[in-house]
Amino acid sequence: MTTGALRYWLAALCVCACSGQPSTSVMLTVVPAEGVEVEQLKTCVETSAGEEWGPVWAPEKPLGALQGTQTLRLLLPATLKGQTIAVNVEGLKHGDVLAQGKSIVRLVQLQEAAMTVALHQVEPTADRSPTAIDAGHDAGTTMPPDAGLGANCTGCSAQLADGCSATSQCTCGASTACAMGQQCVNGQCICNAPSCDGCCSKNVCWPGDQPAACGVGGMSCQTCGPDEANACANGECRCGTQPACGSGQRCSESRCVCDKNSCPHGCCQAGVCHSGNSDQACGQDGKGCDVCMTDQHCHGKMCKKN
């Protein structure tokens, strides 16, 4: 099956995303794992907010080995604009997962995002000599020889797997090997500091450089509020290049401002929201604060004579 032969798959994701409403789309290119023959692709989409779409199998019924790169278009709700999504793809043959891959992209309404998922073999073939095993073990790329793996299940990543299935696939507990950005701990795939340079949400590793999923060092992702920030850098919410906006401010055009929207019950002075009850900062409705005259006091958020 050649590139583009899975176009009909559009209809499958449109069941979830398309009802005559505006949508955002992703042009997904799936690069096969070298030397691995698969008949189906299983795709799931997860947002940094924890929403999930899929899984979807393409084709719905195996029609033979897929040949070369596959190109798919995913249509998703416009409500996901600005969010970062993870697209997880698994390559299957006879129902067994032989390859998998993941990629992450940020969605923009009415603009098509392009992303590539490169599949990697779940049970790679490796040299079984003691030298190769020891070298791989030291580098954290090969399971140690006493990990309970059969002779047909070599080369498993010590980070991603802890065992081998009856079909010679690397496994973590009773499931397939973990995805990149995860670590197999006590038979479970988890996202943590050793496995993820970005941030973790529901055991998925995110880059950590987007407001919807901000963080570094495997910490839990934080969501930057739209009023406080429009960017994320070094695991911190930012308004442009500056720190996140404080209470009574909002991030507008990459700078913190005080106005009627952010400070409706007080007044603004030097970009800071005040309660509006002080002689030195008297006012309301997010307008500029007044400084009352010496013969005045602030009453009802207005300067009035004594």
For 249, residues 6+ apart whose C-beta sits below 8 A from its C-beta are 227, 228, 256, 257, 258, 262, 263, 271, 272, 273
Render pLDDT for 158-174 as a digit per residue (tens, 0 to 9). Answer: 888 888 887 778 889 98
Q: Is 171 helix (H, G, I), strand (E, B) or coil?
A: strand
pLDDT for the residue 298:
96
The percentage of residues in the chain with a pLDDT greater than 90, rounded to a whole number, is: 38
Compute φ and ψ for 38, nearest 5 degrees.
Answer: -125, 160
What per-residue confidence (pLDDT) applies to 88? 87
Least confident of 34-38, 84-88, 130-134, 244-248: 130-134
Cα end-to-end span (Å), the chain: 87
- pLDDT band at 26; cut points 50, 70, 90: confident
Structural domains of the chain ordered from first start: 7-121 (2.60.40), 130-190 (no CATH), 261-305 (no CATH)
- Arithmetic mean of pLDDT, 65-86: 82
What's the confidence (pLDDT) of residue 22?
Answer: 54
Residue 16 has pLDDT above 60, yes or no: no
Q: Which residue has the higher pLDDT, 125 or 59?
A: 59
More confident residue, 231 or 110: 231
Q: What is the pLDDT of residue 148?
A: 41
C-alpha to C-alpha distance for 141 and 152, rounded to whole angstroms:
16
Residue 155 has pLDDT above 80, yes or no: no
Q: Pull the structure tokens for residue 291.
A: 């400084």
**DSSP state for residue 41 in the 8-state scheme:** E
Q: CA quadruple 198, 200, 206, 211: dihedral positive or negative?
A: negative
Angle at 65 between CA 64 and CA 67, to 5 degrees: 130
Judged against a pLDDT cut of 90, whether residue 238 lies above it is answered with yes
Q: Is 131:106 a contact under the CB 8 Å cutoff?
A: no
pTM: 0.55
Asked if pLDDT for residue 183 goes beyond 80, the answer is yes
Instruction: Name the pLDDT band for 129 (thresholds 50, 70, 90).
Output: very low
Q: What is the pLDDT of residue 152?
A: 59
Q: What is the mean pLDDT of residues 134-162?
A: 52
**pLDDT greater at residue 167 or residue 15:** 167
Per-residue pLDDT, 285: 96
Q: How many CB atoms lie within 10 A of CB 61?
A: 7
Q: Does the pLDDT value for residue 54 go beyond 90?
A: no
